[in-house]
Amino acid sequence: MTHLRWSVISPIVRELLSEQKLLEVGPSSNPMGRKQTLLRLNEDHGFILGVTFDPETVSAAVTSLLPRIMTKVIETTCLDRGVEGLVRQLFSCGHQAIQQAGIQREKLLGTGVADPGMVNAREGISILSANLGFWRDVPLRELFEEEFGKPVILEGSTRAQTLAERVLGAGKGAKDMIYIEYGKGIGAGITIEGRPFYGHDGIAGEFGHIPMIENGPACNCGSFGCLEALVGLSAIDARCRKAIQDGSNSCALEIANGDPGKITGWTVLEASKVGDKTCVAIVEELAKYLGLGLSTLVNLFNPSIVVLDYRLGLGGESLLDQIARIVRKQALGNATANLEFACGTLGSDAGILGAALNVLESIFEIPALKPPRFMVEGSAIDALAANRRAWSEDSSLQPFAPNPLS
Between the alpha carbon of residue 323 and those of residues 212, 232, 312, 375, the distances in Å are 16, 15, 11, 43
What pLDDT, on a 0 to 100 scale, did the predictor assign at position 386?
54
Among 199-213, 271-285, 368-382, the range scoring the smallest mean pLDDT is: 368-382
Can you tell me the distance from the alpha carbon of 50 to that of 361, in angstroms, rounded to the nearest whole number?
14
| 270-306 burial: b if 16+ Cβ within 10 Å, else e | bbbbeebebbbebbeebbbbbbbbbbebbeebbbebb
* HEC string for the chain: CCCCCHHHHHHHHHHHHHCCCEEEEEECCCCCCCCCEEEEECCCCCEEEEEEECCCEEEEEEECCCCCEEEEEEEECCCCCHHHHHHHHHHHHHHHHHHHHCCCHHHEEEEEEEECCEEECCCCEEEEECCEEEEEEECHHHHHHHHHCCCEEEEEHHHHHHHHHHHCCCCCCCCCEEEEEECCCEEEEEEECCEECCCCCCCCCCHHHCECCCCCCECCCCCECEHHHHHCHHHHHHHHHHHHHCCCCCCHHHHCCCCHHHCCHHHHHHHHHCCCHHHHHHHHHHHHHHHHHHHHHHHHHCCCEEEECHHHHHHCHHHHHHHHHHHHHHCCHHHHCCCEEEECCCHHHHHHHHHHHHHHHHHCCCCCCCCCHHHHHCCHHHHHHHHHHHHHHCHHHCCCCCCCCC
Tell me the pTM: 0.85
pLDDT value at 184 more than 90:
no
Length of the chain: 406
CATH code given to domain 170-345: 3.30.420.40
Tens of pLDDT, residue by residue over 228-254, are 999 999 999 999 999 999 998 899 999
State pLDDT tens for residues 304-324.
Answer: 999 999 999 999 889 999 999
What are the residues whose beta carbons fall under 8 Å from the beta carbon of 213, sequence distance 6 or more? 225, 230
- What pLDDT is stored for residue 221 in this prediction? 84
Which residue has better confidence, 398 or 173?
173
User: Does pLDDT of 374 surpass 60?
Assistant: no
pLDDT at 397: 41
> Which amino acid, one-letter code, is at 231?
V
Residue 208: closest CA among 107, 351, 309, 354 = 309
Same topology between domain 47-157+355-363 and domain 170-345: yes
| Candidates 3.30.420.40, 3.40.1440.10, 3.90.1150.10, 3.40.50.880; CATH matching 47-157+355-363 | 3.30.420.40
Handedness of CA 281, 286, 289, 295 (dihedral sign): negative
Domains of the chain, by residue range, sit at 47-157+355-363, 170-345
What is the C-alpha R_g of the chain?
25
pLDDT tens per residue across span 314-355:
998 899 999 999 999 999 999 999 999 999 999 999 999 999
Q: What pLDDT does residue 368 have?
A: 62
Decide if pLDDT at 377 tops 60.
no
pLDDT tens digits, 49-91: 999 999 999 999 999 999 999 999 999 999 999 999 999 999 9
What rounded mean pLDDT belongs to the chain? 89
